[in-house]
Amino acid sequence: MNDQYEYVPHRLLRRRVRDIASGVEGELMAVINENVSDSDIERWMELAYIRGASGREFTTSVTNIEAVG
C-alpha cells in the first residue's frame, strides 16, 4: 500500500460539524485525501478528521459531515 495523502481545503474547517453516520459532533480538524487501498489497486478517499468532546479524533467520509447550528 502506498502511504500517500494530501490535505484538502474545506469550507467547514475549524467549525462544529456532525457525522451523519454516527450522530457524533465535534470540530472539523482536517480533510485529507488518503490512499485507503488494501490491495494492488489504488483507492483514494476524502476523509474528515473530527475532534470530539473527549479530545479524541475520529474519521468519517467527508460526504457524511454537516454543519451544526
pLDDT in tens, 19-59: 999 999 999 999 999 988 888 888 899 999 999 999 999 99
Amino acid identity, position 46: E
Judge contact between 64 and 13, C-beta under 8 A: no
Of 18, 7, 6, 3, the closest CA to residue 67 belongs to 18
Tens-digit pLDDT profile for residues 8-22: 999 999 999 999 999
Q: Domain limits of the chain?
A: 5-67
Round to whole Å and give the CA distance between 44 and 6: 10
Instruction: Give pLDDT, residue 22.
Output: 95
What confidence score (pLDDT) does residue 1 get?
41
> Domain 5-67 is in which class?
mainly beta
